[in-house]
Amino acid sequence: MTVQSRKDLLGVFGLFTVGQLAVGALFSLPFGPVHGGDSYLSIAERFPDLSGTEWGYGGYVIVLALGEALGSGPWFAFFLQCAVVVGAASALLSLGRRFGGELAGWTAAGIYLLHPLVTQWTSYLLTESLFYSGVIIVSWCLVHAIDTGRPWWAPLWIAALLVATVRPNGVILLGSATSVMAISRPRPLNVRLVLVAMAWGAVLAAGVASPALSTGSESNYFGPRAWAGEVVWNVPEERIAMPQPAVRDPSNAAFVRYVLAHPVDMVELGARRVWWELKQVRPWYSQSLNAFTAVSMSGFYLLAAIGAWRTRAATITLVVAGISVPFMGLITMTWAIWEGRFGWWFLVLWTVWAGVGCQTLIDSARRRIASPSQPSTSP
C-alpha cells in the first residue's frame, strides 16, 4: 500500500466514523447492529431451508448464517457492512478523482459517508447497506473494465454476481452491467442494440419466471399493487385511481399485459413512485428533518446535474446512467418505499456527479478570482 493509499484510507475511515457518530446522535441509533423490519435473522436460522421468495435475498441470508456459525450473525453482518462501506467510499473517491479531481473525489465519498439519509442504513440488518456498497463497487469495476478494454475482467462479473444475490432486484444490476459493457464496445450500432435487447430480454424472462419475484403473498405482486394505484408500499394516502383489469390475475405475465394495455396510467403511476424516492421528504418527518432534507437534496441534485453535463461524454456517465435508468424503471413498475431507501440504489452513484459538479463550481470561482476583469484603458 502506497503512502497516498494509506492517507486515503485514513481519511475515508475518519469520514465514516464522523458519519456514524452523527447519524447515531441524530436518529438515536446505538453502536452495533440494529434490527430492521424484515426478519432476515430468523430466515438465516432456517438456512438452507428457504422459500422461493427468501432465496431472492440468499446472499444476505448466507452472510447472517455464516455469522451465526462464527458466533454472532448480527455482529458479523454489522462489521462486514462497515468494512464494505469503507471500501465503496474509497471507490467513490477514486472515481471522483478520475473524472473531476481531488475535491470531486472527497465530495463524492463525503456525501456517501456523511448524509444521514443514506449512512443510517449501515447499522441496520437489512440488505440496503451491502447493496448500495455493491452497486458502487460494481460501477468502479465497470469503469475500470471499459477503460482498460477488458470486457470479461473477472472481478467485475464476480462482484456483479455476488451483489445480485443480496436482493431480488440484483438481476437488474446484472442487466445494467451487461448493457453498459455492450454499449461501450467498438462494435456497429445495430450489433450493440441487439446485445442490449438480448440482455434485457433475459432479465425480463428471469423476472417473470423467478420464484423470488413470483411467489409469496398475492397482495405484494406487481399487478395487484398497480391496479390498486399503490405509489408507496402500504401507504394508502398516496394511492391514485387506476383502471381495473378484466381478470384479476396476479401473475407477472398478466402484469406485463396490464402495463401494455394501460401505458398512460402506468406512466403517471410510475412517475409518482420515482418522484417519491427522489424527493426524500416525508409527511411524517419532523419539520427540521424535512427542511434539512429539502435543502440538502436540492443542492445534491443541482451539483449532480452540473457534474452529469460536465462528464456527459465520459465513461462515468455511461455507467451511472446505465445503472440509474433501469433501477428507476423498476421502481416505476413496482412501488416506492416509505423511507425512500429504494432511491439510494442509484443515488449513491450520483455522488460522483455531485462531486464533479462541486469541483466545477470551485474551479470556476478560482479562475474568476485569479483573473479579475481588467479596467478599461480607452479614453
The mean per-residue pLDDT over the stretch 244-255 comes to 86
pLDDT at 379: 44
The mean per-residue pLDDT over the stretch 289-312 comes to 96
Cα-flanking dihedrals φ and ψ of residue 98, to 5°?
Answer: -60, -40
pLDDT at 130: 97
Q: Which residues contact 98 (CB under 8 A, 6 or more apart)?
A: 105, 143, 316
Q: How far apart are the first and last CA of the chain?
A: 63
pTM, full prediction: 0.93
The mean per-residue pLDDT over the stretch 178-195 comes to 92
Lowest pLDDT segment from 124-133, 209-218, 228-237, 263-272:
209-218
Given a cut of 80, whether residue 198 has pLDDT beyond it is yes
Given a cut of 90, whether residue 202 has pLDDT beyond it is no
pLDDT at 374: 53
pLDDT at 315: 96
pLDDT at 373: 59
pLDDT tens, position by position, 11-29: 999 999 999 999 999 999 9
Given a cut of 90, whether residue 166 has pLDDT beyond it is yes
Give the type of residue at 54.
E
Separation CA 356–CA 102 (nearest Å): 10
Given a cut of 80, whether residue 48 has pLDDT beyond it is yes
pLDDT at 284: 84
If we measure between CA atoms, which residue out of 218, 55, 60 comes closest to residue 133? 60
pLDDT at 283: 85
pLDDT at 37: 65
Separation CA 3–CA 5 (nearest Å): 5
Other CB atoms within 10 Å distance of the CB of residue 368:
10
Lowest pLDDT segment from 66-80, 143-157, 229-243, 245-259:
245-259
For every residue of 159-179, DSSP letters joined together read HHHHHHTTSTTHHHHHHHHHH
Whole-number average pLDDT of the chain: 92
pLDDT at 256: 86
| CA 45 to the chain's CA centroid | 28
If we measure between CA atoms, which residue out of 220, 214, 174 comes closest to residue 38? 220
Residue 238 C-alpha cell reads as 398516496
Residue 92 C-alpha cell reads as 467513490
pLDDT confidence bin for 85, thresholds 50/70/90:
very high
> Is the model more confident about 248 or about 376?
248
pLDDT confidence bin for 212, thresholds 50/70/90:
low
The mean per-residue pLDDT over the stretch 205-224 comes to 68
Verify cis geometry, omega within 30 degrees of 0, for the bond prior to 224. no
